[in-house]
Amino acid sequence: MTCHHASIFLNSHACRFPPLQKSNQPISMAKMNIPCGRALLAILFMAKLMSITEANITTDEAALLQVKAHIALDPQNFFERNWNLSATTNTSSSNSVCNWVGVTCGSRHGRVTDLSIPNLGLGGTIPPHVANLSFLVSLNISGNRFHGTLPNELWLMRRLRIIDLSSNRISGNLFDDMCNSLTELESFDVSSNQITGQLPSSLGDCSKLKRLSVSFNELTGRIPQNIGNLTELMELYLNGNNLQGEFPPTIFNVSSLRVIVLANNSLFGSLPVDLCQRLPSLQELNLRDCMTTGRIPKDIGNCTLLNYLGLRDNQLTGSTKLSEPLIQCSINDV
């Protein structure tokens, strides 16, 4: 007797079952030949996994169709041409969404992990059904005309690492506890929208965040002090809002920072005298029109990677000793 399923084959001599019993008691795996017992367990596991994957990719398909249904403007006819079950080359409807343009599925679970539909001129709203893409790692709908508020369900998508909603017409507030759920978040970009309210108080809990851009919105309030907890942060763009108060000195403790742009807010504060020692990787510092006070750090010339320094329209004193390339790049802003 040979046991076989999928790619698993058992030698007939290795797979021996105990004789059938008259009782209704289940046959114990312990009474089977051990190799066959293990193989049967593997077969059962694979069958279960395949059934779960099939059911869940159907959930992903339904979620994507809801995204399509909430599109009111599609000047390039993108969805009709590219998100059509009958148009896919895959004959299995349970897997067809993985062939749609802008959709990527992971190899491990066969689930949707990446939704990328930027710069298509799309107009519409983001439906709460997007949260049913429970394996989604990256969401990019930048450069479109999406409007309305962000669904609360978005902030519960715990696998998300990249969110790029920039250059749309999205309004409403950012969820205050967003970082309590989005613990894997590495890049968050909602710049050039119409977002109001304040920066999330939980911001410091997005401990893996490397890039944060909320520039050119209508945010108010203060920058959370716990922003200094973002020890992996490399790029910080808060410019073009209505932020107020002192910019937290803890910002200058994040040694991984390469870019700090706080320009065009109602912020104030001072620069640490050992700025370049604290931020050895600093490439851009833009505090234009931020009411920055105190003296320009004497060690500013030690920021050897610095290629843009914007300090115009502040209340700083002192002089700068800058490298020649930096002078050529930004002398009008210092």
Domain spans, the chain: 34-333
Query: 145: which residues sit within 8 A by CB, 6+ positions away?
Result: 73, 121, 122, 123, 124, 168, 169
The DSSP annotation for 122-164 comes to: -EE---GGGGG-TT--EEE--SSEEEEEPPGGGGG-TT--EEE
Fold of 34-333: 3.80.10
The mean pLDDT of 240-244, rounded to a whole number, is: 96
- Over 80: is that where the pLDDT of 11 sits? no
What is the rounded distance in angstroms from the CA atom of residue 172 to the CA atom of residue 180? Answer: 19
Alpha-carbon distances, residue 246 vs 195, 204, 260, 268, 315 (angstroms): 21, 17, 15, 5, 14
CA-based nearest residue to 288, from 221, 333, 235, 252: 333
Least confident of 99-103, 270-274, 297-301: 297-301
Give percent above pLDDT 70 in the chain.
75
Both structure tokens of 235: 């790029």
Task: Calculate the CA 151 to chain-centre distance.
Answer: 16
pLDDT digits (tens, 9 = 90+) for 169-193: 999 999 999 999 999 999 999 999 9
The model's pLDDT over 309-325, given as tens digits with 9 standing for 90+, comes to: 988 877 676 666 554 44
Q: Which two tokens stand for residue 303?
A: 């920021």
Rounded Cα distance between 248 and 254, Å, is 11
Residue 282 has pLDDT above 80, yes or no: yes
Question: Using 50, 70 and 90 to split pLDDT, how confident is the model at 31?
Answer: very low
Positive or negative: CA dihedral 218, 224, 230, 235? positive
pLDDT for position 300: 86
Contact 285/263 with Cβ under 8 angstroms?
Answer: no
* pLDDT for res 188: 98
CA-wise closest residue to 154 among 191, 115, 107, 197: 115
Query: Residue 4 pLDDT more than 50?
Result: no
d(CA 334, CA 324): 14
CA–CA distance, 178 with 199 (Å, rounded to integer): 10
- Asked whether the beta carbons of 116 and 102 are under 8 A apart, the reply is yes
CA distance 227 to 302: 25
Distance in angstroms (rounded) separating the CA atoms of residues 8 and 6: 6
* 72-120 pLDDT, tens digit each: 999 999 999 999 876 444 444 444 799 999 999 999 889 999 999 999 9
Q: Which is more confidently placed, 332 or 272? A: 272
What Rg value do the Cα atoms of the chain yield, rounded? Answer: 27
Q: Is the pLDDT of residue 266 over 60?
A: yes
